[in-house]
A and B are shown apart, each in its own frame.
Chain A
Amino acid sequence: MPVASPEDRGEPSDEALVASCAKGDHAALSALFRRHSEGLYAFLARFSGVDDGDLDDLVQATFVSVNRSAARFAGASSVRTWIFGMGANLVRKHVRGEMRNRSMRTRFETVPVVEPERPDAAAEHRQALARIDAALAQLPLELREVFVLCVIEGVSGKEAARALGAREGTIWRRLHEARTALRHAMDGVGS
């Protein structure tokens, strides 16, 4: 079903709101926040090492960054992807601080895998979801952020590269590694 754009609804576009933020318009910042914060919460919640208590801080810090970087927004990606990219950068710093002394690899190899108990399809599907959820949570951060952004949020490789400050080829390589790791986790390899 087609979704009306803000312009169709007579509202300013994301780009116009960012331009207003650059001029110190807090009403524009509020509008931008209300448009994208729900998605940002959901996006950031997919990163392990970010607990519920951290989420509010990360969302707030992201929008503070958005406001302060608004003048530098060049339109290379959509505003939503630009915001998510800033959030991902903050998560990277946050998680690296949290996980400095932990071995993600070790944790990944010790992910317990739930064996199916009931043969019916619904139960198997639920277990598959639980398994991919656990496996996704254990992916190294740089793979997880690319997978979440490109696969779950539907951002193009080109946009993801701009948002995350990486080359497009790097994005595809990381996506390949993420999918391979997830497939192995689903197959029980390494468990």
Chain B
Amino acid sequence: MIEFENVSKSFQGKAAVSNLSLNIKEGEFTVLIGTSGSGKSTTLKMINRLIEHDSGRIRFAGEEIRNFDVKALRRRMGYAIQSIGLFPHWSVAQNIATVPQLLKWPKARISARIDELLDLLGLEAAQFRDRYPHQLSGGQQQRVGVARALAADPEVLLMDEPFGALDPVTRGALQQEIIRIHQLLGRTIVLVTHDIDEALTLADRIVLMDNGQVIQQGTPLELLTRPATDFVRDFFGRSELGVRLLSLRLVADRVRSEERLAGEPISETLSLREALSLFVDRQCQQLPVVNQQGEPSGVLHFSDLVHGEKMRGENASAP
């Protein structure tokens, strides 16, 4: 969908991105992560040409992005940023309608699309349509920001630290929301963040950047289990590595389905990290597990959290 080929960009002689090659596949949730100044935001903004690259080639849908009309290109890509950037003098409905109006959609279609998006983002349409941004909470504003980015059904959604300014609870809720939307719509999403847990939660594919270069890219599991350099290992935190690994796995992966146990059950859709927390909280070695329908599906053993990962880690590095 989006290909970077030996792309470089420098600001006043200082390289922001150098010799970057990257391939973002259609429908994939890619997270660009790195410290501040690593060039991740620059990389994102080069995709919709808010920043023009100096050399190399960037292709969108197989064609060099410089061949597109810049406005037409941007209208095919949704764009959401940390400070949201909603127009304060426009109502929620007008804000969401921005790109459809630029594309000259008929009124009725725009109106239906606004209701559909507000519904998708969990905002009551009748209640929110005519409000102004200053009448919304931070989380609601960011939901409207995401709805606006999705308005014209873009082929790619670009997000620059969209949840950076939100409190942890709201951020968590919106992360779940964006995962759901990604699964539902199957859009290609490119998201920039410096929050490691956010990257692990959201990404199909993580691109770790430093000093304008890609250090390693791969699935979250690959980056955690097979770090290419010490930098990668340090970045994902040596001491918290294990816990982060657990956060990528579900209870369902480790449940012993032949066993049964009495007691208050946990859901098999929880992550192993949450299960670990429950083991400590309840001070026990085994927990009964139920599936999504609430039927007993087995027992989770504390020891399996430890052994299972080692086994999987070896499996993963085998081929």
Chain A bound to chain B: no
Residues of A within 8 A of B (CB): none
